[in-house]
Amino acid sequence: MKKKEIKGLAAFELLGGLDDGMIMESILPEKAPTFSLAPKKRSPFMGFMNSGPGAAVAVTVVAVAVSLSVLAGLVLVGRITGILPPIQELGHDTQAPPTQTRPDIQNGVILPPVAQDPSAESSQLAVLSDGIKVNPKGYCVYISGQQIDADGELVHFDGDGPGAANRLGEIMDEIPSLRTGGNVYTLQLPPGMVARRLRVFAVSQTQPLVFETILDESAETDDAEGLLQHLTELRDGRYIVVLNVFYSSYASENEYKLGEDEYAFSLTVDSFVDPEAPVRIMNGDTTYFLEGYTLEKIYYDAEQKKEIVQKYDGAQGILEEPVGELPTAMVERGDSLFLYLAPFYDLRKVTIFYGDLTRWGEMGYDTPLDDFSTWMEAGDYYFVITAVYLGTGESEILEFPIHIRLVEEPKE
């Protein structure tokens, strides 16, 4: 147990002395317990009890099952969420095919799978997080000019498309993007669709495959919370998630057949928790984290095999203050720069100044900073981030200065 957790346990015990009134006023209405599989064992690669295609459907549902009678699909949940929102709120088409039966997994009983009416609209994968919903019509994994092929290898290519057709799909639309504050990862699959394999790739040339989970007939299940455990442990950064699914459809009245498909989406993870530190810039594997204008540079040191945090003290205020004391984010040519704002912070504009404080110009919310290093000349810049803090009904305009040094030569 870590020291913080031991301290926390003592504090948790101490809070037993709270007043009756405080205890009673904070009791939530009782609800039916959520379904979860009894944990059998933990393993790096999680599998599921799968006695056949039928059982696989309901097993995958697992995670958070309370509202299944409301939801038309199956749900995987990456972190503890409690009750899922009713499907109306998700904006899904809730009309179920006439022949559909929904799986009943209450009390641990797994019934036969949902069969899909072939006349129903083709299945779509909906990815939800923090209220964002995406319905992709097709998929093709693009990472800034690179592509992940069917074997999980990064393939470089020139031009606008990947060339030959590949298993990941022929539709060249950019895959949907998902950004999460680290709260809830929710994948919703349509009826009759079963998650078979989940692969997560980091946007990295060195070791793209971060982890993989395979639904194996012989593997035992872990508890629901562990199902997408790895997703919740992802470091801040950008990832590509590829999900293989099985789906069933009716071949005749009493017969269904299985097919296989793949879906992909990009996932950006940023775990802002500190409302005093709303701005974060990521440059490849290095994160510049502004906390009250004190910059922390977080990077992985391969020699020491651990994350290093370097702190730089910075002066408060906007550019009228001595800018030399502002923390500096080092960016080299070709780096992609990502600017993240914490939840409830709404970006209004980014005002850019040259090193001599001459105004360069402004960028609105829609202008990405990703390729900043490709179109700016080397030198010093000051980005003043103007954001509105929305919070819970509050509204406040804030400005955060960042000093960025763009260099031509690689960092030593």
Partner 1 sequence: MEQDYARASTRDGEIIELFWQRDERAIRLTADRYGGLCTHVAMNILGNAADAEECVNDTYLKAWNAIPPSRPSVLSAFLIRITRNLALDRFRAKGRLKRREGLTVMLSELGECIPAPEEGGAEELMGHIKTFLAAAEDTDRKLFVGRYFHAYEVGRMAEALGLSPNAVSLRLHRTREKLRVYLQERGYSV
By CB under 8 A, name the binding residues for partner 1: 1-20, 22-31, 33, 39, 79-83, 85, 130-131, 181, 183-184, 225, 229, 273-275, 343-344, 391-392
Smallest separation, CB 144 to partner 1 (Å): 29
For 162, how many CA atoms within 13 A lie in the half-sphere containing its CB?
24
- The 8-class DSSP code of residue 59 comes to H
Smallest separation, CB 288 to partner 1 (Å): 21
Smallest separation, CB 123 to partner 1 (Å): 26
Smallest separation, CB 311 to partner 1 (Å): 18
Closest CB to partner 1 among residues 152, 292 = 292
Smallest separation, CB 220 to partner 1 (Å): 16
**What are the C-alpha distances in Å from 116 to residues 92, 252, 257?**
17, 11, 10
Closest CB to partner 1 among residues 130, 216 = 130
Q: Are 263 and 136 in contact (CB under 8 A)?
A: yes
Q: Are 296 and 361 in contact (CB under 8 A)?
A: no
* Among candidate residues 143, 144, 404, 409, the one with its CA nearest the CA of residue 286: 404
Closest CB to partner 1 among residues 277, 330 = 277
The four Cα atoms 351, 357, 361, 366 give a dihedral, to 10 degrees, of: -30
Closest CB to partner 1 among residues 80, 251 = 80
**What does the alpha-carbon distance between residue 124 and residue 237 come to, in Å, rounded to a whole number?**
26
Closest CB to partner 1 among residues 3, 411 = 3
Smallest separation, CB 118 to partner 1 (Å): 36
Q: Are 76 and 63 in contact (CB under 8 A)?
A: yes
**What are the C-alpha distances in Å from 281 to residues 278, 295, 402?**
10, 10, 9
Closest CB to partner 1 among residues 70, 369 = 70
